[in-house]
Structure 1
Amino acid sequence: MSGDEQAPEWDGEELTDRELAARLCAECSARRACLELELRTAGLDTLGVWGGLSEEDRRALYPVWLARRGRRGGPSS
């Protein structure tokens, strides 16, 4: 790290992907848009932390998200 950079508060803690996602994205104003982008582009092939959710959480959410899009008359793919 250089200059003004500081280690995150959780540096050295053992965090699950879910905990890390929640901490990284908690105050982000783009959280919902970020999640929407990942669901639209990656679907079940999602990787990493997007929209404050872990890969496992997004994979579980994906079928629900698709069903809601279909009910609203949006594209289903």
Structure 2
Amino acid sequence: MNRRFDHEGLRRLREDHGVSVRDLAKTTGLSKSALEKLEQGLRTKPHPATYKKIREAFDLQPGALFIDDNADAHANA
């Protein structure tokens, strides 16, 4: 099973919570640039410490914001 980071899901989650990138950066201690690169898909896999800070900011379970590549292949078949 191949899993990838859901960069669009991160953006939707942040927007659904009414949080700006700047505010999320302040909350997590991450740079605004790093968060923007994750949301834009320019960074395809966050560092484990980065991922943990994002999960904690939104109270997410481990594995959240990762999707199964095989699910996309089946949906497009």
Q: TM-score with structure 1 length normalisation?
A: 0.30
- Larger RCO, structures 1/2 (Cα 8 Å, 6+ apart): 2
Normalized per residue, the structure richer in helix is 2
Normalized per residue, the structure richer in strand is 2
